[in-house]
Structure 1
Amino acid sequence: MSDLGPLRYFLGIEVSSTSDGFFISQEKYIQDLLARAALTDERIVETPMELNVHLRATDGDPLPDPTRYRHLVGSLVYLAVTHPDISYPVHILSQFVSAPTSVHYSHLLRVLRYLQGTISHRLFFPSSSSLQLQAYADATWASDPSDRRSLSAYCVFLGGSLIAWKTKKQIAVSRSSAEAELRAMALLTAEVTWLRWLLQDFGVSVTTPTLLLSDSTGAISIAHDPVKHELTKHIGVDAFYVRAAVQDQVIALQYVPSELQLADFPTKAQTRAQHGFYLSKLSVVPPP
């Protein structure tokens, strides 16, 4: 083992530190990606995806050579480890890598133009942050037009630092929005449980329940109330799992208004104002 000094660059991820905290980014990685994409102009957009777009496999004409599409989407997947702002469009675009079309490729170019305008944005981890976990869970019910499956998303903070986020299509069709939200809670509960174990391995005391915030009063009620749980047996093990975590004081459920639900960010496209609001809350910031 050799001491290589302070961490600066590792696997395409750039790290810089100040007295206020740490910044991580992938600016050089984005520059290389844009060069490989060979964009013919320098147009930029302020959001990575248009509002109310529901892509289907049959949209547009098949690409004669899907190699470039697959390569660029694969690169975006890795870029998303420091850019939660592209989590949703990358999730959508990656579903079409087997047979991409001209429409899918045009939306991929929009993501690249967004990155062209936000190339210097960085994820900030404040040094004054506490060591308490706080998590947000959200879902969009029946959002996929092809199979009507819902989308789960979450983000987890350690104090004021965003340390985990995910967008994932649910494996079963939910019959109500509360059911979709409960499945998103179960996904997040598993992540929180693992993070609590990890913090304990690092010597960080984790004695209080992790606050899990949701904007679904129905899902919160099902997780708390065994009577209502009996009326929703078709949900399967997710209701049992979340309720057991509440009883074991692993998590504590709390309602949060939809406009303050940070996990809404990776579940759908946002307006320009909403996008800017969420970026500030997730500490995705331009250079000072």
Structure 2
Amino acid sequence: MSDLGPLSYFLGIEVMHSDLGYYLSQAKYIQDLLVRFGITDNRTTTTPMDLHLQLRPTDGTPLEDPTRYRHIVGSLVYVTVTRPDIAHVVHILSQFYSRDSPLQLHAYSDSTWASNPTDRRSVTGYCIFLGSSPLTWKSKKQVDVSRSSTEAELRELATTTSEIIWLRWLLADFGISCDASTPLLCDNTGAIQIANDPVKHELTKHIGVDSSFARSHCHQKTIVLQYVSSELQVADFFTKAQTKEQHRLHLLKLNASDPPPPP
């Protein structure tokens, strides 16, 4: 590790030091935004928003490609770090930011079985969406060796359920309702049947904690397990290599895309 000297620029924020303290500026970041979106010739104004401006979702004509608008608003959100005076107008613009997709959680959970040739442990992964946007994801090798693909999937269902519970609590704190059960999609019918069955299974006694945990939250309606085919299993992305076509398909499902071209 080397000493790079006093901080002067970090993540688009200029840092200047004087006897009075530190001064933060995003002037360069803002200028780069103006150039990128081709609005350098626009006139300046003294306030962020006209006093009598009223915006409604029905005003104007819907954009054929709203991607550019989303990029502009998303960039302005970061500008509020040093310009709190524009926070209100950015909040107003953000109300027209998202697509008409329900703001609800849904998750994908997947696991390989004994895929590691050295220790025969399984690789597991999940991806949780809020609406159409991926919110959190994970890829990890399991600690224990699973004796079947169903066992490996059950362990990952429990892990994903824990993450879902935490996110539901977090969203509730933000005022986002999570009254409905969260769909959890899995491509292993055996794991789904065991998690939905109230009867304890002798064959899964050694993983009783994980299976009981997933089962209890199925019965509490925290989650609802749904089958998804392996071809449409987004969490496959986090557990194994993909063909070119699968990789492209899963990128589309994750809403991953190239940035818009410069104007």
| TM-score of the pair, normalised by structure 1 | 0.57
Which of 226, 231, 250 aligns to 2:198? It is 226
Given that 1:223 and 1:229 are in contact with CA atoms closer than 8 Å, whether structure 2 keeps it comes out as no
1:217-249 deviation line (CA, Å, top 9, x unaligned): 000011011336343101131001100111111
Say yes or no: does 1:239 pair with 2:211. yes
Question: How many angstroms apart in 2 are the aligned matches of 1:19 and 1:236?
Answer: 50
Question: How many angstroms apart in 1 are the aligned matches of 2:217 and 2:198?
Answer: 14
Aligned to 1:287: 259
Q: Which amino acid aligns with 1:261?
A: Q
Shift in alpha-carbon separation, 1:226–1:276, aligned structure 2, 3 A = same
CA drift at 1:171? 1.1
Structure 1 runs of 4+ aligned residues shifted over 2 Å read 2-6, 16-24, 125-130, 226-231
1:154-175 deviation line (CA, Å, top 9, x unaligned): 0000000011110011111100
Identity of aligned residues (%): 55
Stretches of structure 2 lacking an aligned partner (at least 5 in a row): 1-22, 31-36, 38-66, 76-96
Paired residue secondary structure (2:201): helix
CA root-mean-square deviation:
2.7
CA drift at 1:252? 0.5
Q: Which amino acid aligns with 1:280?
A: L
Larger Rg over CA atoms: 2
Map 1:129-168 to 2 at 5 A: 129-168=101-140
Higher RCO (CA < 8 A, seq sep 6+): 1
Mean CA deviation greater in 276-285 or 223-232: 223-232
Given that 2:231 and 2:246 are in contact with CA atoms closer than 8 Å, whether structure 1 keeps it comes out as no
CA drift at 1:284? 1.0
Given that 1:151 and 1:168 are in contact with CA atoms closer than 8 Å, whether structure 2 keeps it comes out as yes
Which of 247, 256, 261 aligns to 2:233? It is 261
Aligned to 1:47: none
Shift in alpha-carbon separation, 1:178–1:4, aligned structure 2, 3 A = farther
Which of 158, 164, 172 aligns to 1:192? It is 164
Question: How many angstroms apart in 1 are the aligned matches of 2:25 and 2:102?
Answer: 28
Aligned to 2:222: 250
Aligned to 2:186: 214
Aligned to 2:69: 19
Question: How many angstroms apart in 1 are the aligned matches of 2:256 and 2:25?
Answer: 28
Shift in alpha-carbon separation, 1:18–1:247, aligned structure 2, 3 A = same
Say yes or no: does 1:181 pair with 2:159. no
Question: How many angstroms apart in 1 are the aligned matches of 2:233 and 2:188?
Answer: 10
Shift in alpha-carbon separation, 1:253–1:214, aligned structure 2, 3 A = same
Question: How many angstroms apart in 1 are the aligned matches of 2:178 and 2:26?
Answer: 31
1:46-81 deviation line (CA, Å, top 9, x unaligned): xxxxxxxxxxxxxxxxxxxxxxxxxxxxxxxxxxxx
1:128-166 deviation line (CA, Å, top 9, x unaligned): 443100000000001111111111100000000011110
Question: How many angstroms apart in 2 are the aligned matches of 1:157 and 1:219?
Answer: 21
| Number of equivalences | 180
Shift in alpha-carbon separation, 1:5–1:127, aligned structure 2, 3 A = farther
| TM-score of the pair, normalised by structure 2 | 0.63
Aligned to 2:14: none
Paired residue secondary structure (2:199): helix
Aligned to 1:270: 242
1:65-104 deviation line (CA, Å, top 9, x unaligned): xxxxxxxxxxxxxxxxxxxxxxxxxxxxxxxxxxxxxxxx
Shift in alpha-carbon separation, 1:5–1:184, aligned structure 2, 3 A = same
Question: How many angstroms apart in 1 are the aligned matches of 2:166 and 2:145?
Answer: 26
